[in-house]
């Protein structure tokens, strides 16, 4: 299938799941490495194996600053990552193209690195994902808002200990719980974190403060069928 043409300033929802719906991460170390990939591989400068260069500084401690060796040039991202979420068997990224073919190059690095890491760590063979990553270009501002809630609130609510419906019914408690989940970008928009992975220049302009974003998320989950609203933008079963 031919992909949509992506140009500078395009906004794109990118997503994929594990081969045969199997897990792509198994523990917090794997999940933290997902964050490392989002940070270190989103850069014009790249080594054959950047993680080997900095392996002594890599850690599973959440919110520890990412280390950048003094010998490396100034970081120049290939894409802007507006929001993301990682679940056990799939991920979602909301990206903005800022350099020609930036999304394509970044996603190639991302997929290769995820697969190599997983196969080496667990002595597996074959592909990690069910196929090439899926993507959908987003052109309308309202969909930016809906998609951000779908990615970093609804998806995380689906992992709520007592289930998604319970999370919606006790939104305040579940939202606070979701903010503490470090492998999505909600904490950045809730004012609880300032991750170098995330660029808030787009969504940050659409919401005046974290409280406004929270109330919009509540309205989306309580009154709107996001899956139906977004249609083909969401991950198929």
Percent of the chain surpassing pLDDT 90: 73
> For the range 29-34, what are the long-range contacts, defined as Cβ-Cβ under 8 Å and sequence gap of 24 or more?
29/60, 30/117, 30/118, 30/121, 31/86, 31/182, 31/183, 32/59, 32/60, 32/62, 32/183, 33/58, 33/117, 34/86, 34/91, 34/114, 34/183
What local confidence, expressed as pLDDT, does residue 56 receive?
Answer: 58
Q: Average per-residue pLDDT in the chain?
A: 89
What local confidence, expressed as pLDDT, does residue 63 receive?
Answer: 54
CA distance 52 to 70: 15
Of 12, 7, 3, which is closest to residue 138 (Cα–Cα)?
A: 12
What local confidence, expressed as pLDDT, does residue 189 receive?
Answer: 95
Condensed to tens digits (0 to 9), the pLDDT of residues 27-61 reads: 998 999 999 999 999 999 987 777 776 765 555 55
Helix or strand or coil: residue 88? coil
What local confidence, expressed as pLDDT, does residue 229 receive?
Answer: 74
What local confidence, expressed as pLDDT, does residue 47 receive?
Answer: 75
Condensed to tens digits (0 to 9), the pLDDT of residues 126-144 reads: 899 999 999 999 988 889 9
Condensed to tens digits (0 to 9), the pLDDT of residues 203-231 reads: 888 998 999 999 999 999 998 888 777 77
CATH number of the domain at 11-135, please? 3.30.70.1290
Domain boundary assignment for the chain = 11-135, 140-233
Of 197, 194, 36, 4, which is closest to residue 110 (Cα–Cα)?
A: 36
**Predicted confidence (pLDDT) at residue 125 exceeds the cutoff of 50:** yes
């Amino acid at each position: 299938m031919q992909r949509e043409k992506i140009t500078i300033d395009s906004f794109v929802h990118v997503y994929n799941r594990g081969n045969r719906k199997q897990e792509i991460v198994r523990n917090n170390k794997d999940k933290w490495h997902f964050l490392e990939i989002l940070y270190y591989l989103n850069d014009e400068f790249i080594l054959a194996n950047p993680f080997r260069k900095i392996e002594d500084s890599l850690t599973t401690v959440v919110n520890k600053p990412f280390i950048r060796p003094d010998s490396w040039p100034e970081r120049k991202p290939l894409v802007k990552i507006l929001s993301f979420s990682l679940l056990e068997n799939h991920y979602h990224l909301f990206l903005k193209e800022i350099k020609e073919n930036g999304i394509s190059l970044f996603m190639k690095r991302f997929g290769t690195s995820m697969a190599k890491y997983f196969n080496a760590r667990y002595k597996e063979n074959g592909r990690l994902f069910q196929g090439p990553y899926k993507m959908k270009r987003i052109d309308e501002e309202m969909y930016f808002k809906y998609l951000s809630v779908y990615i970093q609130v609804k998806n995380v609510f689906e992992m709520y200990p007592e289930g998604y419906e319970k999370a919606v019914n006790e939104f305040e408690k579940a939202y606070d719980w979701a903010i503490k989940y470090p492998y999505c970008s909600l904490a950045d928009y809730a004012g609880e974190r300032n991750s170098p992975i995330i660029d808030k220049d787009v969504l940050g302009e659409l919401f005046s403060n974290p409280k406004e974003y929270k109330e919009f998320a509540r309205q989306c989950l309580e009154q709107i069928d996001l899956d139906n609203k977004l249609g083909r933008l969401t991950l198929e079963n």
